[in-house]
Structure 1
Amino acid sequence: MAKKKEITPIINENIEHESLDSIMGERFGIYAKYVIQDRAIPDARDGLKPVQRRIIYSMYLNGNTSEKPTRKCAKIVGDVMGKLHPHGDSSIYGALVRMSQDWVMNMPLIDFQGNNGSIDNDGPAAYRYTEARLSKFANNLISDLNKDTVEMTLNYDDSEEEPVVLPSRYPNLYVNGSEGIAVAIATEIPPHNLKEIIEATIYRIKNPHCSCDDLLNIVKGPDFPTGGYIYESEGLKDIYRTGRGKIEIASKVEIIEGKDTNTLLITEIPYKVVKKDLVYSIAKLSKSKDIDGIIDVNDNTAGDGINITVELKKEVNPEIVLTYLYNKTQLKVNYSANVVAISHDRPKTLTLTSYLDTYIEHQVDVITRRSKFLLNNAKNRLHIVEGLIKAIDIIDEVVHTIRHSKDKKDAKENLKTKYGFSEEQSEAIVMMPLYRLTNTDINTYINERDSLKKQIIDLEEILQNDKKLKSIIIKDLKEISDTYGIPRRTIIKEKEEEITLDKRDLVAKEDVYVALTKEGYIKRSSFKSYKSSNGSLPGIKEGDTLIMEDIANTIDYILAFTNKGNYLLIPVHEIQEGKRKDEGKHINYLVTLPIDEYIIKAIVIKDFDKDVSIVMISKNNYVKKTKLKDFFTTRCTKPITCMKISKDDEMVDVSVSNGNSNLFITTSIGISTLFNENEIDNIGLRSLGVKAVSTTKNSKLISLITFRNDEKNKFLFITDKGAVRIIDPSKYEITKRLGKTQRAFESFKSDQHYLVYSTKILNSKDPLKLQLLMSDNSIIEAEINDFKLTPEKNCKNNLEIPTNLKISNVYIHEVQKIDKDTIVEEAKTSIDNSNDSGNVNNINSSQDTKEEDFKDYEQISIFDEMGD
């Protein structure tokens, strides 16, 4: 017969329905409370997180103290993890190592043997290699721990007891500081000077109603183990007044002046700054285009403190470089303090006064518990001693009674019955060896009895007299301060006046050659490279032409203008150095230049404070003037508008005016106008300007020359077919803007010439070298030897060029500069309305004409100078 299947009875399940959000909220709250109270936030009373407290207690229990040899960290970690801290070994070992690091802790609590990491953020050696023990200073945390000074609680598996808090005979929370991130809460407590904090604690004990400001006369501020400087600020005071505050920590740097170089010697760095990262950031800056004065950065740090050297060029101001490094690296950092600790079983933001009150309250409790413990022991011992004295008085009877008793229990009962001894006294008598009982001098016990009575009186007084109790705390604190106190490492000083940084101050001043081409290729080369080239023109790309090539200083700027009505501002020190014969590098690595945009002019600027203006013209007959200072910008990464022009227009020329300059504007077919710059107002960068020439006969503006009334320059004009004309501008009439036009040159329609270049030239014995870019992109070098005036207006082909080619561009080694020698004049009108002609003045009419002024001039016909 088949066996019947067993039927499993149905169990009625009790299922409770609950929403996920309520479960998550409740469970996360439990988790958050655990992390805050049992992991990340220190207790205000002893300044320790649970893992730190458990490490110290475990080492204390195992006798791994300062007077004993060190033990393997693997054993220490294992003991802590197995008995007290049910978490990963890495967190335990990390906490153990941190308590030994003298660049983290003001007063290290662990003596470490082996590699415990470094200020370079190197990790420690594995715990199987290292050893540790409690430091001598850590004894002050565990002092009297065996005298019931603190509450004990069961460990995670109820197999061991551990202290809820350590006695901590000094204010460890402030002395060593702490940091931690919990759930929705974090703490960042800076370390302080032991002497100052103890002195403030004593002051608070004596003056319980003192203000925070009173305590700030003692506690100057945080005292970091890495030293450095802290600047006085409201943020510094807020740390103690509110528990939260922000301060600046600066490195200690000494400037050492040498014969050929200067050196910044860094001997202290801000707290928690990784040294190797700091060195790397300075070295990286030295290679950037922002600073040109750092020669080398070296980390010479050994075992005797920080030693970082930054070698500077002699030409660079070390104070400026230091200020720059303070601003750009972790040589100076902001530190935000957030004094959060567990106080009365909950996290609180503590002010200085509330923290000291919490700590003093803890010490009162420790001394009270210790006194009660000692009092109880003293009373118990006194009772025993009094019994021993009584026993010695009747020693023969006592010995006889013990000998004739059956066993220990019978002996105790007989002593109690016959002589009136108590249970404790009887126990002490029977447990004492007979030879001691019979040979001990009664005076020894009498002295001990008297001593115990005095001790009991003292302990009772401590418990009954609050003043006496606090005097014990003060005495212990002073002892610790005298034994372990050290001078302040971090100096508090007034905030220094901010130095306004000009990037050029960070650059070694050096004259260099700068070359810039029409297509935007730029380079700088040294004098050595220039000399080796024997004065030949710098290398350029085929089809390109030079716009400028001249000496500039590394602290100068190149103000370059483009055909699209934009400008570029380029610091010379940011231009990459190259060989003179090289083509250079496209300007896009400094400023993004669109493909259809090219350079038309460049000016070397040394001083933007000069009260001069930039005059610009466009081919469609517009002129505008803008103050030089408007062109300054701290950073130029793309072209910036300086003349708002239409799509079919282009900016064609730019020049500098000094406040009372004359403007000589010429079109492509030689039509010219001459008027004073004050005919037009200075306007903003994004404006278009005003009409320049009254009639252009459908030609386009090509050139602009600015000059002063007292200049004796000649003007040079070059056409596309190689015609050269030299004129004297003083023979031209100054009119109003849009006034009568004049001719710079003329040509027949059958042989039309178009202007490609014009400039001012000086009388010189040296030939004027030209670089002609031809229509086939070839370059022809030419020169002008004769600088006499050209009476003929009609163009003649003076330059030898192939008949099938035309000149498309000309380069002459001449660059406008704005520097200390730039002449600035007051704005004056040069139009004399009282003149009979109504609108004409001669430039030199107010000056005496001297014969030598015309010694290089040829006689010309008056008709050559007449307008159309």
Structure 2
Amino acid sequence: MKTKQIVFNEEIIEEALEEVMHTSFMTYAEYVTMERALPRVEDGLKPVQRRILYTMYDLGILPDKPYKKSARIVGEALGKYHPHGDTSVYDAMVRLAQPYAMRMPLVDGHGNFGSMDGDSAAAMRYTEARLSPLALEMLRDLNKDTVPFRPNFDDTEREPDMLPARYPNLLVNGASGIAVGIATNVPPHNLGEVIKGVVTRIDHPECSLKDVMKHIKAPDFPTGGSLVGGEGLQQAYETGRGKILIRAKTHIEKTNSGKSLIVVTEIPYEVKKSAMLEKILSVSENKKELFAGIDDIRDESDREGIRAVIEIKKGHDPEKILNLLYKYTDLQTTFGINMMVIADGSPRQLGLLPIIDYYIKHQKNVVTRRTQFDLEKAEKREHILLGLIIAVKNIDRVIKIIRASKNTEEAKKSLMQEFNLTGIQAQAILDMRLARLTNLEVELLENEYKEVVALIKYLRSILGSEAKLLEVIKDELVAIGDKYADKRRTQLMNEEHANIEVDESEFMVVEDCAIVLTRGGNLKRMSPKALQKGIEAGELEEKLQPVTLLQTDTASKLYIFTNKGNMMMMPTVSVPEARMKEAGKSLNALMSGIDAGEEILNIITKTDFEKKLMYFATSGGLVKATDMNEFDVKKSKIMACGLKDGDELIYAKPDDPSARNMLFITSDGMSINIKKDEISTMGRSGKGVGAIKLGKNAKVIFTEQIENGQDGEVLLMTDKGYAKRTPVSEFDEQGRNGKGLKAYLLNDSTGRAVVGALILNNIATVTVLQKSGDMHKLQTDSIPQDARNTKGEQVVLAIMGNDAVKLYRNIFE
């Protein structure tokens, strides 16, 4: 038996992986953005939502019809229009039916459609649904060629590109979704307010955002609560992106036992009630010192509405505890507005006015197309009625012609010739029933003809006048508002009422403690006893060695100055407790808004404010003093010192009353000793005045307040490991902003840059930490003492690079 070899023609395409990935991923990203995640600006619906509503409309599941099984609706949508998972369709339908998710639900659900506690809906085989009355306004006139249709995924059905949306659904119900590299979060609004805003824009196309915001004041969430917009809301309505605060609605009740109850009756949008109460419980356990007044947390919600109760012990102020709850729990949340929508075939971030303008443009198209459809239908009816009236008035001749004809075709042609009729008119006469020949029917035909003629005139007037077209749109919008609009649920707060400042120290049990800043840049809090044990325990890893040790108490605040010119204010208790051999937490982990490469320069407490002035110096050779009162603020982050581009803060310390001068050392081995009296006092944003004129590529690497003629020494080290100790007395006093005096003799053998400096006051040992990780602990008396313009001796090998070395004095000697 012979075998037949089949050869397939295969084409192997060789292409670079990055090109294949780019092409494939871009196609995927575009599909997700356009066909899944983002709503259209015209109807405010994502494709799955539009397909669900159209499926229900197509099946006739209308508000006045019985409910149908959700599984039937989901199956129909999957089979005809949405070739994806049934879960995605059902979840979308459930959300359209949830009154706490949608400001105006578009689906009327029957059965378990989830709850505000985060409970999921029952399976689709158990629930039923139908369109809500307002959903019909989304679909109204769909059968009048008002919107373009396109083929479905397999070209067997047709589906609408968008719905007529006879009210601005995008603003009323909002939208949320995540695409590839793009997200949207449009807040819901009040239907009546939005319609008034749109009507204002129709009447005054050149009106400002301020004019529209007289009606559309702010979002209106289905769960109520209170919100403060301020600049964030204004920015969101102008640009399409901004932030607003949403707060739960609460009131305080007194019990017969003398306790107070914080009662929550409305919660922020998209916050799960059960999760919110769990977070309140968790925070009250983790921050016992703040929430010691909370006695009980319970949920008393029922069919009447939400009632979450936080019971407060006698002797505790419920208002202050409520303010703390706003700060630490979901009783107050931030809603990030990001109005990204599909407009003109691509994703665009739109403000309020452009969204309204796109909606008005859409309605002009819808009403124009509907009017054109109705006009064509009316003109066809007018044409037929004209023929029928002619026939009825000449009925005897018509009957005679029909009876004399051999067949229908002959009768049709004879009627057309006899009465000068068209084929459509002649066919209508032949189709007419005998009952239409009565005198009453003749009168009805003539009356209908007059009505159709009047209708045609009216429809043509709409198509011929944009003003009349806009008037129709306005009238229909106002009618929808009158029928469906309800009262605003989310109340607006004044910005000053929203900014709650809580003095957490009132709740604290004051205890002495130590704040440790480690060489690794981490912070930790220790009790005096734990600190003493840590000192006695012996050697620590290099990164755990303390750079700064601050004695304070748990009621105080820390004022942290960084190399980026910022000051951070933090309650002492926010620094986590840790043992000596534990790492602690970085500033980035304790606070938000920390820039890359931002490091702590110094930490002070309120007692340091008694020193009146704070001194700052930068690597660019600038220096300034600032009044301490300027740092007595309630904000958690402020600018402490303005910086020029490329400059960096290297010194931030309170005034030392015993030191009348400041010493500066530069990387090119220069120094200057200036009087503090010559340093200008400036505000926080001031950049400072010149302390020393820098050579090419040089920068200030060290500065400190000194007393002229003091006994101390300055330790200097170069990038080749040469070092020396020079008495402070050798750095003569000079005027500010001069070139200074030579502090180190640099050459090919000693080094090209000074990379470290330290003031030695009875310090026995110092640590040299290299960028490579190598560490050297040096006895200071082993480093040679020498004059300013000398080369010193090599004490450390293999040091290279301007930023290669950090010099630390050892706190625990």
- TM-score w.r.t. the length of structure 1 is 0.60
| 1:776-818 superposed Cα distances (whole Å, 9 cap, x missing partner) | xxxxxxxxxxxxxxxxxxxxxxxxxxxxxxxxxxxxxxxxxxx
Taking the aligned partners of 1:54 and 1:633, their CA distance within structure 2 comes to 54
Segments of 5+ residues of structure 2 without an aligned counterpart are 516-523, 539-550, 558-570, 582-652, 657-813
Q: CA offsets per residue over residues 262-310 of structure 1, 9 Å max, x none?
A: 1101011111111100011112233332321001111111122211010
2:198 maps to a residue whose letter is T
Match of 1:261, as an amino acid? K
Distance 1:174 1:498, change over 3 A: closer
* Residues 1:247 and 2:187 aligned together: no
Change in Cα spacing, 1:311 to 1:593, as seen in structure 2 (3 Å) is farther
Q: CA 1:76–1:258 in structure 2 vs 1: closer, same or farther (change >3 Å)?
A: same
User: What amino acid is aligned across from residue 115 of structure 2 in structure 1?
Assistant: S
Q: What is residue 433 of structure 2 aligned with on the other side? A: 433
Q: Which residue of 1 aligns with 2:310?
A: 310
The Cα shift of 1:14 comes to 4.4
Whole-angstrom CA distance in 2 between matches of 1:460 and 1:317: 70
- Unpaired runs of 5+ in structure 1? 507-554, 572-586, 610-630, 642-683, 688-868
Question: More displaced, 309-318 or 495-504?
Answer: 495-504
**Percent of aligned positions with the same letter in both sequences?**
41
1:559 corresponding residue in structure 2: 512
Q: CA deviation at 1:434?
A: 2.4
Structure 2 contact 514–527 (Cα < 8 Å) conserved: no
Instruction: Write out per-residue CA displacement over residues 491-529 of structure 1, whole angstroms, 9 at most, x where no aligned residue.
Output: 1111227444344544xxxxxxxxxxxxxxxxxxxxxxx
Q: How far apart are 1:22 and its partner, in Å?
A: 1.6
**Alignment equivalent of 1:111, drawn from 108, 125, 128:** 108
Structure 1 residues 14 and 333, CA gap change in structure 2 (3 angstroms): same
Report if the CA contact (8 A) 1:557-1:604 is conserved: no
Query: 1:227 offset after TM fit, Å?
Result: 0.8
- 3-state SS of 2:134 partner: coil
Which residue matches 1:379? 379
CA contact under 8 A between 1:81 and 1:89: conserved in structure 2? yes
1:207 equivalent in structure 2: 204
| 1:417 matches 2:417 | yes
What is the identity, as a one-letter code, of the residue corresponding to 1:256? E
Secondary structure class of the residue paired with 2:232: helix
Does the 8 A contact of 2:300 with 2:307 survive in 1? Answer: yes
Amino acid of the structure 2 residue aligned with 1:271: Y
Query: Residues 368-409 of structure 1, C-alpha deviation per residue, up to 9 Å, x if partnerless?
Result: 000100110110000001111001011122223333434433
Contact 2:209 2:353 in 1 (8 A): yes
1:637 and 2:568 aligned: no
Query: How many residues in Structure 1 have an aligned counterpart in Structure 2?
Result: 548
Which residue of the partner structure matches residue 151 of structure 1?
Answer: 148
The whole-number CA distance in structure 2 between the counterparts of 1:160 and 1:608 is 71
Q: Which residue in 2 is equivalent to 1:265? A: 263
Q: Deviations over 1:147-201 (max 9, x none)?
A: 1111111111111111111100100000000001111111000001111111110
Conservation of the 8 A alpha-carbon contact between 1:69 and 1:133: yes
Matched, 1:68 2:65: yes
Residue 221 of structure 2: aligned partner: 224
Shift of 1:206: 0.8
Q: Do the aligned partners of 2:436 and 2:442 also contact (CA within 8 Å) in 1?
A: no
Distance in 2 of aligned mates of 1:159 and 1:639? 71
Aligned to 1:279: 277
Does residue 46 (structure 1) correspond to residue 43 (structure 2)? The answer is: yes
Residue 640 to residue 500, structure 1, CA distance change in 2 (3 Å): farther
The one-letter amino acid of 2:322's match is L
Post-superposition offset of 1:608: 7.7
Partner of 2:502: 501
Question: How far is the alpha carbon of 1:214 from its aligned partner?
Answer: 1.9
Map 1:400-549; keep pairs closer than 5 Å.
Answer: 400-437=400-437, 441-495=441-495, 496=497, 498-503=499-504, 505-506=506-507
- The residue number in structure 1 matching 2:752 is none
C-alpha deviation, 1:239, in angstroms: 1.1
Residues 559 and 568 in structure 1, CA contact (< 8 A), matched pair in contact too: no
Q: How far did residue 421 of structure 1 move?
A: 1.9
CA pair 257-461 structure 1, distance change in 2 beyond 3 A? same
More helix per residue = 2
8 Å CA contact 2:555–2:573 kept in 1: the answer is: no
Measure how far apart 1:29 and its partner are.
1.6
Are the equivalent residues in 1 in contact too, given 2:461–2:468 (CA < 8 A)?
yes
Alignment match, 1:186: 183
Per-residue CA deviation, residues 533-586 of structure 1 (Å, 9 max, x unaligned), is: xxxxxxxxxxxxxxxxxxxxxx54343899xxxx98879xxxxxxxxxxxxxxx
Alpha-carbon deviations, 1:227-253, whole Å to 9, x = none?
111113211111110000011111111
**2:629 corresponds to:** none
Q: CA deviation at 1:258?
A: 3.3
Which amino acid in structure 1 is aligned with residue 444 of structure 2? T
Q: Which amino acid aligns with 1:132?
A: A
State the alpha-carbon separation in 2 of the partners of residues 83 and 70 from structure 1.
20
CA distance in structure 1 between the aligned counterparts of 2:56 and 2:556, rounded to whole angstroms: 70
**Paired residue secondary structure (1:115):** coil
Contact 2:67-2:130 at 8 Å conserved across structures: yes
More deviation, 495-504/297-306:
495-504
2-structure distance, mates of 1:596, 1:84: 74
- Superposition deviation, residue 317 in structure 1: 1.1
Kept in 2, the 8 Å contact 1:174–1:190? The answer is yes
Is contact 1:593–1:639 with CA below 8 Å preserved after alignment? no
- In 2, Cα distance between equivalents of 1:20 and 1:340: 32
* Residue from 143, 163, 168 that aligns with 1:166: 163
1:277 counterpart letter in structure 2 = A
CA distance in 1, matches of 2:426, 2:448: 19
Change (3 A) 1:417 1:440: farther
Q: Which residue does the alignment assign to 1:355? A: 355
Change (3 A) 1:505 1:561: closer
Contact 1:557–1:570 (8 Å) recurs in 2? no
Q: Structure 2 vs 1, CA of residues 163 and 561 (structure 1 numbering), >3 Å: closer, same or farther?
A: closer
User: In the TM superposition, what whole-angstrom CA distance separates every residue of 1:314-362 from its partner, at most 9, and x where no partner exists?
Assistant: 2111111011111111110111110011111111111111111100000
Deviation at 1:606, TM superposition (A): 11
* Residues 357, 570 of structure 1: alpha-carbon distance in 2 compared, 3 angstrom cutoff: same
Structure 2 contact 513–554 (Cα < 8 Å) conserved: no
Q: Distance in 1 between matches of 2:462 and 2:577?
A: 76
Go from structure 1 to structure 2 and tell me whether the alpha carbon gap of 1:468 and 1:568 turns closer, same or farther (over 3 Å shift).
closer
In structure 1, the residue matched to 2:622 is none
For residue 85 of structure 1, what is the aligned residue in structure 2? 82
Is 1:323 matched with 2:323? Answer: yes
CA RMSD in angstroms, aligned pairs only: 3.1
TM-score by length of 2: 0.64
CA distance in 2, matches of 1:301, 1:4: 82
> In structure 2, do the counterparts of structure 1 residues 382 and 504 end up closer, same or farther at CA, with 3 Å as the change threshold?
same
State the distance in 2 between where 1:561 and 1:225 align.
49
How far, CA to CA, are the matches of 1:13 and 1:81 in structure 2? Answer: 35
Paired letter, 1:108: P
* Residue equivalent to 2:340: 340
Tell me how far 1:108 sits from its aligned partner: 0.3
CA-CA distance at 1:17 after TM superposition: 2.9
One-letter amino acid matched to 2:45: L
Q: Which structure has the larger Rg over C-alpha atoms?
A: 1
Q: Which residue of 2 aligns with 1:833?
A: none
What amino acid does structure 1 have at the position aligned with 2:227? I
Partner SS for 2:383: helix
CA distance in 2, matches of 1:460, 1:88: 47
Query: What secondary structure does 1:122 align onto?
Result: coil
Displacement of 1:219 = 1.3
Q: How big is each residue's C-alpha offset from its partner over 1:811-857, in whole Å with a ceiling of 9 and x where there is no partner? A: xxxxxxxxxxxxxxxxxxxxxxxxxxxxxxxxxxxxxxxxxxxxxxx
**Equivalent position of 2:94 in the other structure:** 97
Among residues 24, 28, 35, which one is paired with 1:27 in the alignment?
A: 24
Aligned mates of 2:513, 2:162 — CA distance in 1: 72
